[in-house]
Amino acid sequence: MTQHVTMDDLRRALVEGSGVDEGVDLERDLGTRAFADLGYDSLAVLETGLRLGRENDVEIDDSVFTDLETPQQLLDAINHVLQRRAASS
């Protein structure tokens, strides 16, 4: 069970769950570019977050993903939940 999700994990989950638009380079500035600029809508963000939660055996409430604008924010939110779980174990 992973205690930390990386940007590579996030990149993989985005591609597996929602694909990638032609002309979008997920290797460049993934953390700071807006999901909208990368071609991902709120459903793709939700699916990616839930996928990473399942992969790490942690339940994350859908509301966590509501206002996230960048992949880095999504990564931080997931890792925050993982850190809370680790601290309570």
Whole-model pTM? 0.89
pLDDT in tens, the chain (89 residues): 558 999 999 999 999 999 998 888 888 878 789 999 999 999 999 999 999 999 999 888 889 888 999 999 999 999 999 999 888 87
Domain that holds residue 62: 7-88
- Residues written for the chain: 89
Report the 10 Å Cβ neighbour count for 67.
10
In a domain, 1, yes or no: no
In a domain, 83, yes or no: yes
Number of domains in the chain: 1
DSSP notation for 56-67: TT----GGGGTT
Q: What is the CATH number of the domain that holds 59?
A: 1.10.1200.10
